[in-house]
A and B are shown apart, each in its own frame.
Chain A
Amino acid sequence: MMNSIILNAATRLLVALLLLFSVYMLLRGHNLPGGGFIGGLIGSTGFILYAIAQGPTACRKALHFEPQNIAMIGLGTALAAGVYPVFFNDAFFTGQWWFIGDRASGDYIPISSVLVFDIGVYLVVFGAILTLVLALEDEV
């Protein structure tokens, strides 16, 4: 933990921004640079910053969940997204898509099991990195 007032003050703002940015990267990933892997990296950077500024204990409190549990939940989410198509007579990991709205006019929101899979990737990367960093930080 660093006792820097500037870092402390900046962190409050930066963490929120980084998290927002990471979700943005995750969601836009299918069409533009980004995706679950990058999103997870950015998200974890936010919390690493927080851990550096406020200490690992405060960081764990802010996380609410143990980071290794977040990683496991992510793995489960990705697996669920992969198994889901089997119930529709498709092979494992075949993307399932729903288009809410009018597709012809381009005015629609696409939802897919692929997105769920990417969210799983996000959570795995996020949780795994924080597991490592917090375990290292804890050792002071």
Chain B
Amino acid sequence: MAEGGAEVPRLAGGPAGWVSVAIPTALFVWFAQFLPAVAAGQTPLIGFDWVPSMGIRLEMLIDGLSLTFALLITGIGTLVTLYTTSYLGKHPEYPRFVLYLMTFMVGMLGLVLADNLIALFVFWEVTTISSYLLIGFTSDSAKSRRSALQALLVTGTGGLALLAGMILLGQAAGTYSLAEIRQMGDAIRNHDHYIPILILFLAGAFTKSAQFPFHFWLPNAMAAPTPVSAYLHSATMVKGGVYLMARMNPTLGGTEPWFWALVIAGGFTTVFASVLAIRQTDVKQVLAYTTLMALGALTLFIGAGSSDAIKAAMIFLVVHSLYKAALFLMIGIVDHETGSREVADLRGLARKMPVTFLAGALAAISMAGIPPFFGFIGKEFLYKAGLEAETAQLWITGTIFAASVLMFVAAGIAVARPFLGRLPEKFKDVHEGPIAMWIGPFLLGALSLYFGIFSDIPEIWLVGPATDAVYGADVSVDLYLFREVNAAFILSMITFAVGFVLYLMHARIRDALAAIIQANPLKFDPGWDRTLDGVKALAEFQTRYLQSGVLTRYVFIIFATFAATTGFTLWAQDALNFQLDIAAELDGLLFKHWAVLVFITAGAILTALTRSRMTAIAALGVVGIGVALLFIMFSAPDVAITQLLVETLVVVLVAVAMLKLPHLGVRTSEPNRPVHAMLSIAVGTVTTLVLVAVLQTDLDLRLTEYFNATSYYEAFGSNIVNVILVDFRALDTFGEIAVVVIAALSAYALLRGTRYGAIREDDT
């Protein structure tokens, strides 16, 4: 930062702020250019070869669904980043926040655009991790950190399930390309692995989109700064799961298990969340629970699966993103200006903050589903799809009716309460927020009205193509505000009436709900804590047991495991079934072989029997040098040289360490010696058996021949060992030297960091 530091107030967030607004704006414009092509029914695939030798391409699949999502992500992203320049622009960590937000946006765009399942998973995890960083942005608060970790673990676990599901699906389909998998719905649905795939995919989608019983992380995630709540936890990230279900509908959808899983989980989440929304006293929490409700409704209707239901889900997706982001941003302004989000505190702010009120009111009317707003159309189509459902008609219609009524109430709590009524004394000096903050919610609110009146615009460009993509076939989409007095319309009118009555009584309902919830023994958040504590206790237990810190025990466990598993494998694989002519073998040995053999054996025996550690180290060095001599005899000079050098260095290193480390003198009596002796004999026996067993089979010389043939002509080197190390398998070598560096640094840190603080004289 050129201005440097937090003391200098940066104009609208400084360079980081401008960049953060410019990127989503540019992307929005870029995506908008695809609208005509997608509306005309095309699905452009844009990509480039990533690893052509392995057939991996990075490809973007742009169809109605992904384009709708991409436009929501970049469009709302632009408004949210603009809002953030003002909301957090003076925060000393603002550039860091921008970095996280941009990372998230890229991840989310990748998620909805990726054509490859594995790429989709990678981006899915990018959104999980950036969400963790954003929720925990105020990292000095324990509550933030807990919520961030909770979100990470819940969605991360789901992500792992999803990865497993994707691999199964990829195996079943024989391809990882979504565009191709989409064509194979029937084959997948009849595949043996359909049920496991379905369960794993839904585990991913339900955790991400906070469906019951994984819902509890989302309200806690509201510990994040408000722009994050508006962007990630209502408009975009939590819809990642919805996106996945919508994307998979042509492939996995349309079966009984799919229908019931989505309809039951979605429906239950819908009702459960909207009841809990009414119970909250913090406006942001009210909005958080209504977001849960919306996610439930989307799941429910994708599960219902008829063309009407999919259409309703896609309309509601757009409706909800617009009004919910606006409402979150609105309560952020109120919080920013008054320092409170409590329903009980806030009154009569309309006079002080007229523009914010206007923006909030536009969004809230859309949320309540009042004509001529887009929200009304959304609700009408939800009712219509519910009433015309062939299965579970009553359940779908009932849940959506209950939810709509409670949404009406929630909209009132979120906007009417804080802005209407008499202004309390303490808010006399409150003033309107800056334009960078109210422009976002205002535009989103206005768009909710505009889309309602000119409903053919979202119909042609967004909802129509998206419905086709999700349903997997052409669906006629015709949005309208009012056409006739039908069952859906009558249900809407009843919704308003019931909602209005409940709104007037809502304080009493809230207290009653609070009492009921208080009495309910089944609580998810404390349950979460207990689960986490259990995991920690298990980790502690096994650490204490396995990671005792006693070197002897580590070595013992490692060698015992080796001897047991290898010995078992030898036995189980029937590898010991060979005839060995020992006399003939011994006859073949020359004098030099005998000499080395004696040399090694003598070293080994001395190591085992000596009472001095120093002698033991030296004797072990003798064994190593003997082995090096063997390598020389069997013409492996590179290995022999390395072995010699390493043996020398090990003796030097251990000798130095012995001299320096305290409490190491003459070996005292050890009760475990017989056990150790038995273990070493076992290891020696198993190793010998393995070697002999290996020699019984013919050596496979194909690799040797390959390298002999290619080493000089392709890699211009005649030392095969070195050519393999630095050329053929250079990536492996790179990994190994990275390990060497890490090991050296860790040892350095251990030696420096424990008992000796500042020891080098020349430092002081």
- A residues at B contact (CB < 8 Å): 29-38, 41-42, 44-45, 48, 52, 57, 60, 68, 71-72, 74-75, 78-79, 82, 91-93, 95, 97, 110, 112, 114, 117-118, 120-121, 124-125, 127-129, 131-133, 135-140
Cα-based distance from A101 to B431 in the complex (angstroms): 79
Whether A41 touches B737, Cβ cut-off 8 Å, given contacts A133-B656, A138-B759, is no
Contact yes or no, B726 A121, CB < 8 A: yes
CA distance in complex: A68, B726 (Å): 22
Q: Which B residues lie within 8 Å of A72 (CB)? A: 741
B744-A129 in contact (CB<8A):
yes
How many inter-chain contacts with C-beta < 8 Å in the A-B complex? 148
B747 touches A132 (CB 8 A): yes
**From A74, A112, A131, A138, contact of B745 by CB (8 A):** A131
Q: In the assembly, what is the distance between CA of A133 and CA of B648, in Å?
A: 13
Q: Are A135 and B752 in contact (CB under 8 A)?
A: yes
User: In the complex, are the beta carbons of A132 and B744 less than 8 A apart?
Assistant: yes
Cβ of A137 and Cβ of B649 under 8 Å apart? no
A57: min CB distance to chain B, Å: 6
Considering only CB atoms, which chain B residue lies closest to A116 in the complex?
B726
Cross-chain contact B744 with A35 (CB below 8 angstroms): no
Interface mask (B651-673 → A, CB under 8 Å = 1, otherwise 0): 01100110010000000000000
For the residues of B in contact with A, the DSSP-based class is: helix
Q: A41 to B645, Cβ gap below 8 A?
A: yes
Stretch at the interface among B378-386, B506-514, B635-643: B635-643
Shortest C-beta distance, B734 to chain A (Å), equals: 6
B743 (CB) vs chain A CBs: closest residue: A128
A110 to chain B, nearest CB (A): 6
Asked if B760 and A138 make an inter-chain contact with CB atoms under 8 angstroms apart, the answer reads yes
Residues from chain B with a CB closer than 8 A to the CB of A45 are: 645, 648-649
B731 at the interface (CB under 8 A from A): yes
- Selected from B726, B745, B756, the residue in CB contact (under 8 A) with A36 is B726
User: Nearest-CB distance from B572 to chain A (Å)?
Assistant: 37
Q: Which residues of A contact B747 (CB under 8 A)?
A: 131-132, 135
> Which of B646, B744, B745: most chain A Cβ within 10 A?
B744
Cβ-neighbour of A133 out of B642, B653, B719, B737 (below 8 A)? B653
Q: Which of A48, A117, A136, A140 has the most chain B CB atoms closer than 10 A to its own CB?
A: A136
Binary interface profile of B, 471-515, with partner A (CB < 8 Å = 1, else 0)? 000000000000000000000000000000000000000000000
Determine how close the nearest CB of chain A comes to the CB of B246; give it in whole angstroms.
Answer: 37
Q: Which residues 406-453 of B have a CB within 8 angstroms of A?
A: none
Given contacts A124-B741, A135-B748, contact A31 B660 (CB under 8 A): no
Known pairs A117-B726, A128-B744, A129-B744; A31 contacts B734 (CB<8 A): no
- Is B740 at the interface (CB under 8 A from chain A)? yes
Can you give 24 A-B contacts (C-beta < 8 A)? A30-B716, A33-B641, A33-B721, A34-B722, A35-B721, A35-B726, A41-B642, A41-B645, A41-B646, A68-B745, A68-B748, A74-B737, A79-B734, A91-B51, A114-B727, A117-B726, A117-B733, A117-B734, A121-B733, A128-B743, A128-B744, A135-B748, A139-B660, A140-B660
As a 0/1 sequence over residues 719 to 738 of chain B, the CB contacts with chain A under 8 angstroms (1 = contact) are 10111011100110110011
Q: Which of B645, B718, B721, B756 has the most CB of A within 10 A?
A: B645
**B717 on the A face (CB < 8 A):** yes
- Asked if B704 lies at the interface with its beta carbon under 8 angstroms from chain A, I say no
A64 CB to nearest B CB, Å: 14
Residue of B719, B737, B752 contacting most chain A CB atoms (<10 Å): B737
A129 contacts B649, C-beta separation under 8 Å:
yes
Instruction: For B729, give the chain A residue with the smallest CB separation.
Output: A93
Q: Given known contacts A139-B751, A139-B756, is B641 in contact with A38 (CB within 8 Å)?
A: yes
* Neighbour of A32 across the interface among B642, B719, B730, B737, CB < 8 A: B719
B51 / chain A contacts, CB cutoff of 8 Å? 91
Interface string of B373-414 (1 = CB under 8 A from A): 000000000000000000000000000000000000000000
Contacts of A30 in B (CB 8 A): 716-719, 722-723, 726
Least distance between B615 CB and chain A CB atoms (Å)? 20
Contact of A82 among B652, B734, B756 (CB under 8 A): B734
> In the bound complex, how far is the Cα of B329 from the Cα of A111, in angstroms?
61
Q: Which residue of B lies closest to A120 (CB)?
A: B737
**Per a CB cutoff under 8 Å, which of A42, A110, A112, A117 touches B645?**
A42
Nearest chain A residue, comparing its CB with the CB of B52: A91
Instruction: Report how far A82 CA is from B760 CA in the complex, Å.
Output: 37
B762 CB-CB contact with A under 8 Å? yes
Q: Are B737 and A121 in contact (CB under 8 A)?
A: yes
Across the interface, which residues of A come within 8 angstroms of B740, CB to CB?
71, 124-125, 128
CB-based contact A136/B656 at 8 Å: yes
CB closest residue in chain B, given A41: B645
CB-CB under 8 A from B733, the residues of chain A are 78, 117, 121
Query: Is B53 among interface residues, defined by CB-CB distance under 8 A?
Result: yes
Which single residue of chain B is at the shortest CB-CB distance from A29?
B722
Asked if A31 and B717 make an inter-chain contact with CB atoms under 8 angstroms apart, the answer reads yes
Contact across chains for B638 and A38 when beta carbons are under 8 A apart = yes
Report whether A33 and B744 are in contact in the complex, using a CB–CB cutoff of 8 Å.
no
**Closest Cβ neighbor of A135 among chain B residues:** B751
Q: Bound complex: CA of A95 vs CA of B724, how far in Å? A: 12
Q: Which 5 A-B pairs have the closest CB atoms?
A: A128-B744, A30-B717, A41-B645, A93-B730, A33-B637
**CB neighbors of A among B568-592 (8 A):** none
Q: Which residues of A contact B19 (CB under 8 A)?
A: none
Assess whether A35 is in contact with B722, with CB atoms less than 8 Å apart: yes
Structural contact, A33 and B649, CB atoms closer than 8 A? no
B344 within 8 Å of A (CB atoms): no
- Cβ-defined contact, B656 with A137, below 8 A: yes
At the interface, yes or no: B761 with Cβ under 8 Å from chain A?
A: yes
Taking the closest CB of chain B, its distance from the CB of A76, in whole angstroms, is 10
Contact call A133/B652, Cβ cutoff below 8 A: yes
Q: Report Cα–Cα, A117/B652, bound state, in Å.
A: 28
Contact between B761 and A57 (Cβ–Cβ < 8 Å)? yes
Q: Are A112 and B641 in contact (CB under 8 A)?
A: no
Partner of A48, one of B649, B726, B752, B759: B649
User: Which residue of the partner chain, among A29, A44, A75, A135, contacts B741 with CB atoms under 8 Å?
Assistant: A75
Are A136 and B653 within 8 A (Cβ)? yes
Q: B716 touching A112 by the CB < 8 A rule?
A: yes
On whether the beta carbons of B737 and A136 are closer than 8 Å, the reply is: no
Chain A's closest residue to B731 (CB) is A93
Closest CB-CB distance, B228 to chain A, in whole Å? Answer: 35
